[in-house]
Amino acid sequence: MSRAVLSIGSNVGDRLAHLRSVVESLGTRVVGVSPVYSTAPWGGVEQEDFLNAVVVAEDAGFGPSDWLRFGRELEEAAERVRVQRWGPRSLDVDVVSCDIGAGEVHSDDPELILPHPRAHQRAFVLVPWRDVEPEAVLTADGRQRPVGDWLGDLDDAERNGVHRTDLTLTGPAD
């Protein structure tokens, strides 16, 4: 069984619809979905705030590269254009972590670095992930620690910039 933690975000167009497209495309593979958060952009580029969430999914037929391909296909369907690093985007789907049954996959392939190399620095990933899997662990900087511990290491401004909304990714349109 392959289990992936996907961080999803959008700050262009119908942000909620873009996020919902991920959950709808995953269908019965969804194990858990976080609440939707509003967050300031990360990376220093002036742009609109993001809606972010984390989806945990399982698929016996998927490996890490399949999750990456799946995310890229969804980004393409949302007409994502990669113009500027950390710039605005209709949909961003990042594979944060993947487990293929023997524990967390570690990869330094430039196409898919796992676990995601900056996830432990991003409250917009850690906060919703902790909502879905409170006991989750993440390896970064050669250390495996609970997601909540990585979150505790972040400065107050980073943590306080992640705001839970009343929006959901399941059920009828809001």
Tokens of 170: 């399941």
Percentage of the chain beyond pLDDT 90 is 81
Inform me whether the pLDDT recorded for 173 exceeds 50. Answer: no
Q: Summarize the confidence of residues 142-147 as an average pLDDT.
A: 95
Q: Which residues, in sequence order, are bridge partners of residue 92?
A: 9
Q: Summarize the confidence of residues 136-165 as an average pLDDT.
A: 95
* 23 and 33 Cβ atoms separated by less than 8 Å: yes
Q: How far is CA 92 from CA 15, 44, 103, 134, 157, in A?
A: 11, 17, 25, 23, 23
pLDDT of res. 55: 98
Interval 77-89: pLDDT, tens = 987 666 666 668 8
Inform me whether the pLDDT recorded for 112 exceeds 80. Answer: yes
**Which domains can be identified in the chain, with CATH numbers?**
2-164 (3.30.70.560)
Who has greater pLDDT, 170 or 26?
Answer: 26
CB within 8 Å of 77: residues ≥ 6 apart: 21
Could you give phi then psi for residue 76, rounded to 5 degrees? Answer: -65, -40
Inform me whether the pLDDT recorded for 174 exceeds 70. Answer: no
Q: Summarize the confidence of residues 112-132 as an average pLDDT.
A: 96
Interval 12-56: pLDDT, tens = 999 999 999 999 999 999 999 999 999 988 767 777 999 999 999
pLDDT class of 170 with cuts at 50, 70, 90: confident
Inform me whether the pLDDT recorded for 76 exceeds 70. Answer: yes
pLDDT of res. 68: 96
CB within 8 Å of 141: residues ≥ 6 apart: 120
